[in-house]
Structures are given as C-alpha cells and as structure tokens.
Amino acid sequence: MNFKKITVIAFAFILAFLAAPLAAQQSVNTVIPDSLNPANDPVYQQYLKRLDSLYAAWINLRLPLVQYQDTSIAFKRDTNIVELPDSIFVQRLAAIPSAIELTYNKQVRSYLDLYTKTRKKQVSIMLGLADYYFPMIESKLDAYDLPLELKYLPIIESALDPRARSKVGAQGMWQFMLGTAKLYKLKVNSFIDERLDPVRSTEVACAYLKELYSIFGDWHMVIAAYNCGPGNMKKAIQRSGGKTNYWDVYYYLPRETRGFVPAFIAATYIMNYSQNHGFYAVQPNIPIIADTILISQEMHLAQISEVLGVPMGTLEYLNPKYRKKIIPAAGGPYDLSLPADKVSIFITMQDSIQRYKQNVYLAKNNLDKQPAVRTTAKPVKPSGDDVAVSYTVKSGDNLGYIAAWFGVGISSIRDWNGMSGSSLRSGQKLTIYVPKSSVEDLKEINDLTFAEKQSRVGKENGTGQAEEPVVAASKSDTNFVYYTVRSGDNLWTIAQKYPGVSHEDIMKLNQMPSSRLQAGQVLKIKRKEG
C-alpha cells in the first residue's frame, strides 16, 4: 500500500462530505470513456510488473522454505484459452452477491484478461493461500460489520503474502506503512513487526477501512483511498469539481491508484469463477489446522524447530512477525502459532525447549559485563630508590593539596591508585611513591592538621590558598618550589615569574594532560640556577 499516511487533518475531511446527501455518494455502474486502450495503459503495465514481482518473491524466497504441492495439474489446464464475450463477464459479475459494486468496463476487462490468461500460476498459488487465510479474514470483517468481499483486497495488495514488502516500505499482507501502523497501535520494533502478523494486521485493516467508509461513504472510493491515502483522495475530489464517484475522479487520482479498483473487481471475479477458467488451487504444505498459545520465555524458532521436529520454514510461515526469528521476553507474553498436533508436546517440554542450545541461539555475551577495572601501571620512578608511602584522605583534602604536600604530580597519584577522576572520599587510602630519603619526613604528614600541612608549602590564609605564590618545598626537596594557583592565573603568566621556566616545563613536571588550571591547585616548579 502506497502513501497510506493518515493524520488528524485528513479525517477532518469528514465534515465536508458527510453533509452531502447519502444518495449522492452511492456508486453507479458508470462505464468511463475508452479513450485509453487498457492494454497499452502505463497504469496497467505497472500493475503487471508488480504482480510479476510479487510472484517472483514467492518463487525465490518462499518456496525454499515452504514447498508447494505438485503444481503440474494446476499449471497445465490452460492449453485451450477460450475468449469470452463481455456479456458473460457482465452476467457473472452481476451474479456475485456483493455489497460492493462490480462495475464492468474495458479497464476491468484488462485485469480480467491478466488473471484469466497470462498469470495463471500466480492465481493458482493465491487460490491455495486463500483457503488458508480467507476464513480468518472473513471472521474479522464480519466482526467489524464490513462487506466480506473486502477479503479480496490483500490479493491485489500483497498476493496474500504476509511478508510482502513494497519499494516504498509498506509491509505485510495489508501493506501498511510504518506511520499508519503506529497510528493504529501495531507493534513495530527490532524484534517484532505486527504488520507481518496476518491476524493483527487484518484487525487494523478492518478498523482503517471502516474509518475510510465513514469519510467517503462509497466502497470504490474507500478501496482507492486505502491505496493512495485519504489526503490524495480528497485532492482528487477537489480537482474533479466535487465528484464523489470513483469513475468520475478516476483521472484525477495518482497513476498507481487508478488500476486499484479494476484490479479488485477482477480479483473478486477470478476467486469466484476460478474453476470456470481451469484454475485449481495449489496448496502450500503448511498446517491448515494450527493453534496459538501465549509464552513469556524468550525463545528462538530454531530451538522449537529442532526439539519438536517442525520444519523451520513452517514455523516462520506461521509466525512471520518475529523479525529475527526470536520471541522476546520483554513486553510479553507473546503468541506462538504451532501445528495443532504439536501444541501439547510444546507445553510439556517448554522449559526444556527454552534451555536447548541456549548459548547458541540466545547468546547475550555482553548483558552482564561491567566496565573493565582500570589497571594503569606505575610510571617510571624518578630514581631507582622510590618507595611507597600511604596517606589517608581527610575531610577537605583534594588531589592538588596532597600532590603539593608530597611533592608529586596529580596525574601520578591518579595512576598509582587506579583513579579515572579526581574525586576523593574521607578515609580513602592513597599510595604515593616518594624518594627513599624522604620517607620518614613525609610519613608524618598523616598526623598533621590541615594548617600544619599547608604550612609546609606556604602560609595558610583560611581559604586553603597560600598568601604567597612562591613557597618552600619540603625539608629534603630544595630543588623545587610550589605555586598555589589563584583565580585568573594561567600557565604562561605563572612561568613568567620564574626565569628560565616555560609553561611546557610546568606541564611536563606536573604531568598535566591539558593547560586547564583550577584555583587552589598546587604546581611543582623546578628551580633554575641564576
């Protein structure tokens, strides 16, 4: 289905057309001018190509999964094609009990010839699928009080293929675009696409068709609007000067939609008179009698197939909505369709099936993974006799202070303790590497007050910042000075205070990954001679 995008604005169109007399919206058996030879009509040719494409999809993609029964009988009955007069088609169409008018004209005749003469293989396959799907579709149409003849709509939409996909992204037997599917609450995600579920998509199609009829009040108009969308149908009516009969707006419709109603009428005919033309259904080898159960366990269809001995193609055919062949656990329970004779066995063995080759079909190698623990190696020590001392973090400490007290770089403390950031907690134990000659002097830092620790690198002014930027180093570390960063400082201005020192020297000595500074940060600066 192309362009089936519905918006609230489109449905506002009800107000404009429901005011018209109901009698004026009823279709009449109008024969449109034959100025265009249908056999050469681009719309007809486009439909022909589309039908061929749908058939090719079945042959190439479906037959390897679901083997059809012997097709030789059905496909060899057309050796003597009899050209029927128009009067026979008119008579037969009139005899079909239908709430939808089955108009006859040359446009319709073109599609009748297509089905009865040139596409007999496709029709034979669709007859077999109709035996499988029509009972379900009829029950849904009846529940919505809709004409049962609408069951022929998915024949021209998808050739009754629940996995059909159009070039513009419409999917499923009823060919819903994603926007329409979401509007009608069809579930579509990476694992499930209910557009491919024959039952759920049929329910939505019924709701959609009923709303379209409430707008246009004419089944031909509804069928065309189902294909092109109510917005395009509204435009066609406006361009026609307000006509509300399909044949009156025919040439105002999008080209791909013009053949939709003639094709629908032809499909209705061939499904009712198939045997008159030598057609016999080709039944797919899928179980006609199937049953559905609800499950909440995650399973792969291959697990079910291998344990129960049901062909994988059969399970895929019965459960087309599972995009990855996986029935997910989240958001369930979900339905599973099985051959009726396998249901009781499945119920008995359900837990065993779920565990069968679980690591093969339901592998989730990353669901319980945690980020790898940082294992940064200790950097090369300044000298061969560096040893580790321990420091217990106190309330109010930060890495800048601690680095200044021990005369090391902030990034070194991070690396030595496997830290990815700079946050600390009170009571945390830090390992710090210092020269062996400084160990006894630096061990006492653990026992000092914050003021005493700050006094070792500068005068404390009550805010944690030194009043003088140039401060003395620890007793055994007279080759360096320490500078406490103030608001407004940058590395260039700080380097200017120390002859022979560049901002690159400061960054390298303090192992700084960037030139960003924070007020209160303590920088270690090597003294230069002179």
3-class SS letters over 438-507:
HHHHHHHHHHCCHHHHHHCCCCECCCCCECCCCECCCCCCCCEEEEECCCCCCHHHHHCCCCCCCHHHHH
Task: Report how far apart, in Å, the C-alpha atoms of 69 and of each of 116, 315, 444 are.
Answer: 21, 18, 92
Distance CA 121, CA 190 (A): 35
The whole-number pLDDT of residue 40 equals 61
Is the dihedral angle over the CA atoms 234, 138, 1, 104 positive or is it negative?
A: negative
Contacts within 8 Å (CB) and 24+ apart, 61-68? 61/163, 62/161, 62/163, 62/317, 64/313, 65/312, 65/313, 65/316, 65/317, 66/284, 66/285, 66/286, 66/313, 66/314, 66/317, 67/284, 67/285, 67/313, 68/125, 68/128, 68/282, 68/283, 68/284, 68/285
pLDDT at residue 77 in the model: 46
pLDDT at position 368 = 62
Task: Verify whether residue 316 is a known catalytic residue.
Answer: no
pTM (two decimals):
0.58
Please give the biggest Cα pair distance in the chain: 118
* Residue 331 CB partners (closer than 8 Å, separation 6+): none
- 474, HSE (Cβ side, Cα atoms, 13 Å): 23
Q: What is the pLDDT along the chain (530 residues), one digit of tens a residue?
A: 443 333 333 333 332 333 332 223 333 333 333 443 455 666 666 666 665 665 555 444 444 444 444 444 444 444 455 688 899 999 999 999 999 999 999 999 999 998 888 788 888 889 989 988 999 999 999 999 999 999 999 999 999 989 898 888 899 999 999 988 998 999 999 999 999 999 999 999 999 999 999 999 999 999 999 999 889 999 999 999 989 899 999 999 998 899 999 999 999 999 999 988 888 888 777 777 888 999 988 999 999 999 999 999 889 989 999 999 999 988 778 999 999 889 989 998 898 898 898 888 887 765 566 666 555 555 555 556 678 888 999 887 888 888 888 878 787 788 788 787 778 888 898 888 887 777 888 888 888 888 788 777 654 333 334 334 444 444 345 678 888 887 667 787 788 788 888 888 888 888 776 777 777 778 888 877 65
Residues 6+ apart with CB under 8 A from 469: 483, 484, 486, 494, 497
| Three-state SS sequence of 183-204 | HCCCCECCCEEHHHCHHHHHHH
DSSP 8-class letter at 60:
I
Residues sharing a CB contact under 8 Å with residue 333, sequence separation 6 or more, in sequence order: 294, 295, 296
In whole angstroms, what is the distance from residue 336 CA to residue 357 CA? 19
Which residues, 6 or more positions from 511, have their beta carbon under 8 angstroms from its beta carbon? 409, 410, 411, 412
Closest by alpha carbon to 392, among 402, 377, 380? 402
Place of tokens 């029509």: 134
Q: Determine whether 181 is exposed, middle or buried from the number of CB atoms within 10 Å of its CB (0-12, 13-18, 19+).
A: buried
82 contacts 273 by C-beta, under 8 angstroms: no
List 101, 149, 157, 203, catalytic entry: 157
Contact 414, 374 (CB under 8 A): no
* pLDDT, position 325: 93
Domains of the chain: 38-277 (1.10.530.10), 290-361 (no CATH), 396-526 (3.10.350.10)
